[in-house]
Structure 1
């Protein structure tokens, strides 16, 4: 079985502005985007996140360049990924990737299919009560039908917007790290992430050891700058999406 890239993420605890400064994020070029998540309308009416509970995430981003819509299975298992979705591919504005997501508390497999659109093209799908399902393309629909058939991408409502501020390739000791802040309502989150790619002919055990060392180095680099690491077991996506659904329910 082919080795997969690993995205390593750590969530930051405490004051986001101070942490961003301590980690060197106040000096790099900043990209601002707006993010919405699509969820099952009936589920949201009950304060639930049905798609997320089924391991499916539908995210729409606008601003800062081309819009994009992502359909992601996370967590998933390799056996779910069948047919054309067994391996990564890229064609025109569609990119499919499979990678491992690692954090302090979990290591899961994620598969995502991204369709890039012209800037502003997805606004109608998420603003003023638009239908986010209308922008899901045929390949994304096929992806969910083939790999998560119990989940249905209809009857959706957009939750958001979340303001995302991202600074890429921030030097942190000998690492290059992406820093991303999410803000919505009174909630604010900061995540630091880095990617590890397998080398040619690298054995799985050697690759896992190398990724483990990268995770420890990232944690140590953050802590050495007086910044705390979050002990929350859930990802920022799960925490934000659950809070938005509960707020919409109220």
Structure 2
């Protein structure tokens, strides 16, 4: 009897670790063009890759910026995933799988030499014609993505105060946040409540849709709507944090 109980406990533990116990399919996504225009994501990918290159220009610089490199590389992975599944043609659609693989290698590099070598492959991947991206799978760590979100949102909020001059940047940052929200759905098992898939997916959708509204308002040069949508975006983050990351409530900025 005790042996059978032990086996059952071990089985549940193994399933929980592997994600089998709490596995939940990511719900069908709307067309990516409705929440993150391809042109904005391409601009963002180029920007993050450029920033990674700047951090890798010098070994001492890299030592100070390695954590930023990890976040930027993980973000490239998610943006590439969305571009690979995008309904709009884009310059990185065919390269998406290679961009994901090589940006993951940059994020996982343990030292400067490894990061430098991985970055060279990431640059080359921009013109790759790799295998197709087939679904909304996990391609980045939830920790890195959630550390990136407040950095992007803080820049977005600053730019809202200079809306007339910064509408382009606001649109790009909003598209990045929408892409992160959609991509994070596959990270359910990294949350503190992996069995609560319904709420996790709902919060990801709320964040995605609010960020999409900011993007659309910025593109329409509608400052009032952009400000309103950003408030909804911040609320979606706080509502999610209340359940999945209580210590993060109020720290979206």
After TM superposition, is the score higher than 0.5? Answer: no
Highest RCO, 1 vs 2 (Cα 8 Å, sep ≥ 6): 1
Of Structure 1 and Structure 2, the greater strand share is in: 1
Of Structure 1 and Structure 2, the greater helix share is in: 2
TM-score (norm 1): 0.31
TM-score (norm 2): 0.31
